Structure 1
């Protein structure tokens, strides 16, 4: 007889895949640890990344894709509110990044500049990343 553990979600948790393939580009940035990514921080990161890539490659040579879709909402009550007053207002959208998930894909970046981009992204993100290619 198999004992099932009760969980709050109704989905059965099975083995998670620890790999993901590149869909668009020839170079990708993959997460090596899990963490949460907030939409406002992601927008700032994308703007800074586009400026960095424009300096490295020029205007039209490199292409960037990001397959991230934000699916969670974060709520917060004010500090002075008492318990039992509800959930609170939405202050951000977020996405939980799992280990092995591809965050950004590139094409047309020279090999000697690929590490510069990874170091730049590592400073901005709160979880570990590594470079993956075809």
Structure 2
């Protein structure tokens, strides 16, 4: 099990891979604005996507493929309200990721464009950032 660590001046400035092009699936959800997504928001997004796609594919077995390409790299810490200056950084209460325009959140495969378009219109309201649906044309 990976332990959570508090970070201070240890953030990676350059990503090791490009997450602006589709690599796994035929369709994807791309962010077009700056925003921060927390761990609970990301889990609820993934859950609602799978639920909606299962509903659209007539409750069959999970015939579609879904890739979550977001790595939560921020540990959010918090001190109590009454604490004075000093005394350390505080306890970790959640994880998050800072999104930049052009980053792909999810990739999909083995699903039709119409089903994905309907699911995207349902999910678009739940994502706190502005997003678009992208496709890979072979």
* Residue 43 of structure 2: aligned partner: 43
1:111–1:67 distance in 2 versus 1, CA, 3 Å: same
Note the aligned Cα RMSD (angstroms).
Answer: 2.3
Gaps of 5+ in 1: 1-8
1:112 equivalenced with 2:110 (yes/no) = no
Q: CA deviation at 1:100?
A: 0.3
Unpaired stretches in structure 2, ≥5 consecutive residues: 1-8
TM-score with structure 1 length normalisation?
0.80
Residue aligned with 1:123, SS: coil
Q: CA deviation at 1:19?
A: 7.6
Is 20-29 or 113-122 further displaced after alignment? 113-122
CA distance in 2, matches of 1:111, 1:48: 18
Shift of 1:127: 0.5
Report the structure number with the largest CA radius of gyration: 1
3-state SS of paired residue (1:30): strand
Quote how far apart the aligned CAs of 1:69 are.
0.9
